[in-house]
Structure 1
Amino acid sequence: MSQPLMRRRATAVSPAGARPAGAPALTAAPRDYTYDGTFEGLLTVLFTVYDWRAAPNSIQPAATAQAGLFAQPAHRETDEAQAARVWDGLLRTMDAEARARLYHVFLSEDAERELLIFRYVDLALRAGRDIAENYVEATVRRVQRLAQQMFREKHRMEAFVRFEKTRDGLFHATVEPDYDVLPLIAAHFTKRYADQRWLIYDRRRRYGLYYDLTRTDVVQFEEAGAPAHATGAVAATVLDEREPLFQVLWQAYFDHVNIPERRNLKLHRRHMPLRYWKYLSEKQPRAQPFQPIQNKRPPGAAGALAGPAAGPE
């Protein structure tokens, strides 16, 4: 996956209120568009739509595009300058938070994400103002719902990632999120684990984030070059010799902070869905059975330790 991490650009935001509408009438015959599958490529397609004044019948990644019987789709190569103009120009009709939601919708991998983003942008351009709270529009509701799902998945990934230390000092974690959230969690892990090398690998999408103590990059692995990463597992021979101990200690901590009397599996699974359990150390079979800490004094022990009560003089 060649998609880069999205970088926000510093752009002055217009004062609140109505903004000048800038969408020309789409008077040409509708077209089918294809692009390279990157967010910048999609922004280039949006630029082309208004440059050609031809609304999209469809917008599809070229690798998976289904061509029509009588017309070939118009393929647009990514143009960084055009993509930047569109990305910065969106702030004329929406605030930075609403614009970020469009990027989140793209990462959601929804089957209609490209047309959904186009419809939202077109509505905003023709309204000349922020439409984020215009829930009468089905497009706005759909964008908001996908953005909420992305935020929830991002939050879970930040909470549920579990690292394993390898012999060369690399901390490795495998994840399999429902949505493509790695670009959204990069800043969190870069800031939180700035003093150690780490790799977070998305098994479903076959790419990862690698931090080398100076920067975080998107990395890919060849099919035959890294069989361990391709399966999402790390061979025991490459793990640090203390890693099993670390896992036992973490499992012991998890067991001892648990309160059996307040056990609520339904609530537990709501906050920690089953699909994450296979990558959580605390959910793996115990190497040794759990034994409660024997540090509670028997009834009356406190009085016995205090000694005999002082009598009257």
Structure 2
Amino acid sequence: MSICLYTYDGTFEGLLTVVFEAYERKAWPTAIEQEHLAQPIMFGQTVTVTTDENKLSRVWKGLQKKLSVGALKALYHTYLWEQPGFEMLIFSYIKLAFDSKQSIEDNYAASCVLQVQQAAKQMFREKHRMEAFVRFQKTADELYYATISPDFNVLPLIIQHFEKRYADQRWAIYDTKRKYGAYYDLQNVSLINLEEAPRQKDVTAVFAEEEDKYKQLWQVYFDHVNIPERKNPKLHLRHVPKRYWKYLSEKQPRTFLP
């Protein structure tokens, strides 16, 4: 089997275009990599794919005939999952769907089907944890700002939650790991890219004066409702893993109200 490396621009649309190109060429990929990460190969063929609206639309329409809405979401969530090999996993799932006469969604004997479902479950858990644990801080110009660094790229999945919950406030959520964020201006949400994430001390410098007092009051409240006799550290860690503590006011170093 000859080596065939497909490269694309890193977008979900680009990945769907790769699927079209592979079927059109009848040259199945042995690897799929983002252009800026791909390494030259000494043997075999490298196919550089340019995202094409017509081609990706044909693939998506074909998938809509083969898969349920839930399965289509699971595929997109697997793309956002970003773990090594996710492109080939998505390709294998799509190829199996196109090549099968019956639905593949419950065919867990196929490793790609099982892995996509597992990835989607991990994304679901991370999404809901981010929705629960994100803490906004208000800046002097009335902007509510929060930083996150989730294990997976869940920002696109949590935007709708915060858009509905904080519809009357300007807010921004910035993913420091992926160096992009979402900004809500009271009407629309737009994605923002920064070359360098704002440093915490720079952000803190523009927080409204009362923000620190709110944080302290939250810490006092947490102490008040926390019953020592009922402490269960293992259960607490299961529901609130340590990697989320940086988002929680009650977990920050204690300061004192004036």
TM over 0.5: yes
SS at match of 1:54: coil
Q: Which residue of 1 aligns with 2:150?
A: 177
Tell me the TM-score normalised to structure 1 length. Answer: 0.79
Distance apart, 1:29 and its partner CA: 6.4
Select the structure of larger CA radius of gyration: 1
Letter in 2 for 1:166: T
Alignment of 1:276 with 2:244, yes or no, is yes
Q: In the TM superposition, what are the counterparts of 1:1-313 in structure 2 within 5 Å?
A: 31-223=4-196, 229-232=197-200, 234-288=202-256
Separation in structure 2 between the aligned mates of residue 181 and residue 114 of structure 1, nearest angstrom: 17
Distance apart, 1:236 and its partner CA: 3.1
Distance apart, 1:145 and its partner CA: 0.8
Tell whether the 8 Å contact from 1:32 to 1:72 is kept in structure 2 after alignment. Answer: yes
Q: Which range is displaced more, 207-216 or 245-254?
A: 245-254
1:261-284 Cα deviation digits (max 9, x unpaired): 110111101111101112211101
Letter in 2 for 1:216: V
Separation in structure 2 between the aligned mates of residue 255 and residue 177 of structure 1, nearest angstrom: 27
Q: Where do 4+ consecutive residues of structure 1 move more than 4 Å?
A: none
Tell whether the 8 Å contact from 2:3 to 2:44 is kept in structure 1 after alignment. Answer: no
Q: Which range is displaced more, 98-107 or 87-96?
A: 87-96
Tell whether the 8 Å contact from 2:97 to 2:104 is kept in structure 1 after alignment. Answer: yes
Tell whether the 8 Å contact from 2:179 to 2:195 is kept in structure 1 after alignment. Answer: no
Separation in structure 1 between the aligned mates of residue 255 and residue 240 of structure 2, nearest angstrom: 22
Unaligned runs of 5+ in 1: 1-27, 224-228, 290-313
SS at match of 2:30: strand
Tell me the TM-score normalised to structure 2 length. Answer: 0.95
Separation in structure 1 between the aligned mates of residue 126 and residue 103 of structure 2, nearest angstrom: 26
Aligned length: 257
Distance apart, 1:237 and its partner CA: 2.4
1:73-112 Cα deviation digits (max 9, x unpaired): 1111111222222122201111010011011111111111
Unaligned runs of 5+ in 2: none
Separation in structure 1 between the aligned mates of residue 111 and residue 73 of structure 2, nearest angstrom: 19
Bigger fraction of residues in helix? 2
SS at match of 1:174: strand
SS at match of 2:191: strand
Letter in 2 for 1:160: F
Q: 1:64 to 1:233 in 2, by over 3 A?
A: farther
